[in-house]
Structure 1
Amino acid sequence: MSRIALIGAGITGVTTAYALAQRGFEVTVFERHRYAAMETSFANGGQLSASNAEVWNSATTVLKGLRWMLRRDAPLLLNPLPTWHKYSWMGEFLRQIPNYRANTVETVRLAIAAREHLFSIAAREGIDFDLERRGILHIYKNRKDFEAANRVNALLREGGLDRHPVTNEEIRTLEPALQDEFHGGFFTPSDSTGDIHKFTRGLAQACVRHGVEFNYDTEIVSISPGTNGRFLIDVRRDHESLSGTFDQIVVCAGVKSREFAAMLGDHVNVYPVKGYSITVCLDDDKSRQAAPWVSLLDDSAKIVTSRLGTDRFRVAGTAEINGFNRDIRADRIAPLVQWTRRYFPEAATSRVIPWAGLRPMLPGMLPKVGQGRRRGVFYNTGHGHLGWTLSAATAASVTDSIERSVRR
């Protein structure tokens, strides 16, 4: 059976390694961190959300982004300093606006397909990841935003998603902890939440049980064609230089995927779009009672929430186009804390853990899944803000592509 090198042990890399191992492939994973799920898969918003599948390539989003440029606390922030990567990506992003509808519908379909894959994997391998299957509630303060969401809802339903409107009174019934008045909302009962880091680490352990080899603390130095169509990979680990040969390569390297694609003769224009989260530690009974269990998405603030077990509440959001900057900025964390205090005033925010991560985004907002230009090269990357939501489906898809390639 083919020997496969897989680059990256985030959520897409680990789900792909698992899918390949289930089909009998010999898989070696290369990861530059000491453990799996240490970058974008560490502390995201926690949502498994087909209801958040709308792509960002719309004139409305662009106009909002221009208005937000003068606000340091804006949901979307652009560092205007020019770089070729940034502005080439933005140019491709704008050219994808005509595909907004088709890409949104396709993303919904992928998300729905991924859901059952992920749940079956977790059940089969006994992975505990604080799963809550209580749905996701989108909330809107005014009629204008609600009506805009209703237009998006038509696309989500076209993709097969059951998401229905709810009144302010129904919002109170669905999540009594939420404090405020709303024009209305949309509720998706089939969506869910959980801890992506716990899931990915648990799945990596399952991969090891199924024969996958993980090489942590390992930097890939170069990739070059070997003999008989194979690939030679040179790595550095513990100050040692090592090399190995492989029949196929799968790039699941998140924001580093563009760099590896260039080594392999492909243009995969992934850009790092930074997001922030806080984990609110619910240290007392009053806070645990005051925090919500139903997952929320506030569309105007671009903030999502997840309850992670009894004593943690995750609040995440914002997008920052600022290159490979991983700094945790106080002025970007503050809106998340203020939002929590506004809607859940009895939940203490005295112990809040901030985090920032880089989402690997392609200009069209759909991931790159399948074969590259060179035979034996495959990609499963560029999932943006929906990496966890889509990962199980794209892992199955790229595994299908590899199987077909091997049979030729």
Structure 2
Amino acid sequence: MSRTVAVIGGGITGVTTAYALAKRGVAVTLVERHRYAAMETSYANGGQLSASHAEVWNHKATIWNALKWMTRRDAPLLLNPTPGWHKLSWFAEFLAAMPDYERNTIATARMAIAARAHLFAWAEEEKIAFDHRRAGILHVYRDRRGFERAAGVSSLLAQAGLERRAVTPQEMRAIEPSLHGDFYGGYYTDSDSTGDIHKFTSGLADACARLGVACRYGAQVTALAREHGKVRVSMGEDSAVFDAVVICAGTASRAMAAMLGDHVNVYPVKGYSITVQLDDRASQAAAPQVSLLDDATKLVSSRLGEDRLRVAGTAEFNGVNYDIRADRIRPLLEWVEQCFPGVSTRKVIPWAGLRPMLPAMLPKVGPGKAPGVYYNTGHGHLGWTLAAATAEMVAEALLNSSAADR
């Protein structure tokens, strides 16, 4: 067993990785540049633990939508046309992965299903309250074309072991009576659930500390280097040597991998969310109880406790950019007003985060080229859904490698 392991990144993937290793008796140091865990992409996402949303994006429909929406500043998928080597190389790899669309979708769904058992067990063992709601996820479709395409996706999910059933507009409203609008049909996955990623990650980070994980918050990694069979992690003027390192650094993973001789082509895909405060009883009654995914707008919603509604979505290819744009937030507000007109939007908190996305839409989990270097990164829009499974996977890979070295 490796005696000391540095886990770099204190978001959902880093904290779950640190926890999985610590539970196996590994001496872990968690390195996070922010003052607390879960302060970037794991702060205010859509909230869905959604195996039903496991479809990868490497499909001609994604390409068509991206081209169709190029001139719309409020488009669900927005591509900044300014060229750049990183963006061009990422899209070249994205196109090259299109033949693997079906295989990668099935693999992602299987990981999502496996993640559930770990995450639920950890939350129970560590007594983490994270507004978990097991009410399923309802995908809604406004036209026949989208609904029929979703049938093909459902068949792939079924191959992974996930049941997602078609429902009529009448059945949709029985599942979620507060939903307004005209819909062709939907698909409902009752095994999916929702929860607050920030609350869960913060709670699990506290559990890591109780297990003896050394949490180095406010520590910016400036360099990584192989050194005499180990890995040196430099944090400004400070540095430490570890037997192994696991890179869970989100959009910073690409640069860190390059320091260690690996190509991990993560691109920062910006997503937006709003948190609607349900401060009055009328809004609480008018807000949905069931989590939704609207295919036409590419927006998701999750009820977090009684007094919050989270709405999230959009994908913006615009490099490292944290700006919260009013024209990108507006469609989220309008969606709430149209679909749930009884909900007050007087108090709304906007947010933007960068999803670490790999071209094939599968996370990189496991060893790098050099001994002692491991990755758990590139989960894209499914970090919350997949993290517990990939943490277990990388922990097992690291321990198995250490055992083979003895």
TM-score by length of 1: 0.98
**1:79-109 per-position Cα deviation (integer Å, ceiling 9, x unaligned):** 0111110111011101110000000000000
- The equivalent of 1:290 in structure 2 is 286
- The equivalent of 1:337 in structure 2 is 333
Shift of 1:355: 0.2
- The equivalent of 2:103 in structure 1 is 102
- The equivalent of 2:319 in structure 1 is 323
Q: Distance in 1 between matches of 2:106 and 2:234?
A: 41
**How do residues 2-401 of structure 1 correspond to structure 2 at under 5 angstroms?**
2-227=3-228, 229-236=229-236, 241-401=237-397
Q: Distance in 2 between matches of 1:5 and 1:157?
A: 38
Q: Distance in 2 between matches of 1:232 and 1:187?
A: 48
Q: Distance in 2 between matches of 1:387 and 1:200?
A: 12
Q: Secondary structure at 1:109's aligned position in 2?
A: helix
Question: Which AA in structure 1 matches 2:7?
Answer: L
Question: Which AA in structure 2 matches 1:66?
Answer: L
**1:312-343 per-position Cα deviation (integer Å, ceiling 9, x unaligned):** 00000000000001100000000000000000
Q: Secondary structure at 1:51's aligned position in 2?
A: helix
Question: Which AA in structure 2 matches 1:230?
Answer: K
Shift of 1:131: 0.2
Q: Distance in 1 between matches of 2:275 and 2:65?
A: 27
Q: Distance in 2 between matches of 1:243 and 1:349?
A: 48
Shift of 1:182: 1.5
Shift of 1:181: 2.8
Q: Distance in 2 between matches of 1:233 and 1:367?
A: 23
Question: Which AA in structure 1 matches 2:321?
Answer: N
Question: Which AA in structure 1 matches 2:230?
Answer: R
Shift of 1:220: 1.2
Q: Distance in 2 between matches of 1:343 and 1:226?
A: 57
**Structure 2: gaps of 5 or more residues:** none
Q: Distance in 2 between matches of 1:270 and 1:184?
A: 35
Q: Secondary structure at 2:220's aligned position in 1?
A: strand
Q: Secondary structure at 2:117's aligned position in 1?
A: helix
User: What CA RMSD, in Å, does the superposition of the two structures yield over aligned residues?
Assistant: 0.7
Q: Distance in 2 between matches of 1:334 and 1:234?
A: 42
- How many residues are treated as equivalent by the alignment? 403
Q: Distance in 2 between matches of 1:130 and 1:277?
A: 17
- The equivalent of 1:406 in structure 2 is 402
Q: Distance in 2 between matches of 1:141 and 1:245?
A: 55
Question: Which AA in structure 2 matches 1:389?
Answer: T
Q: Distance in 1 between matches of 2:388 and 2:161?
A: 18
Q: Distance in 1 between matches of 2:388 and 2:396?
A: 13
Q: Distance in 1 between matches of 2:235 and 2:296?
A: 45
Shift of 1:290: 0.3
Shift of 1:231: 1.6
**Structure 1: gaps of 5 or more residues:** none
Shift of 1:230: 1.3
Q: Distance in 1 between matches of 2:296 and 2:357?
A: 21
Shift of 1:392: 0.4
Question: Which AA in structure 2 matches 1:334?
Answer: R
Shift of 1:226: 2.2
Q: Secondary structure at 2:240's aligned position in 1?
A: strand
Question: Which AA in structure 2 matches 1:287?
Answer: S
Question: Which AA in structure 2 matches 1:393?
Answer: A
**1:210-259 per-position Cα deviation (integer Å, ceiling 9, x unaligned):** 010111111112122223x11222212xxxx2111100000000000001
Shift of 1:300: 1.0
Question: Which AA in structure 2 matches 1:202?
Answer: G
The alignment-based identity, stated in percent, is: 61
Q: Distance in 1 between matches of 2:207 and 2:357?
A: 28
TM-score by length of 2: 0.98
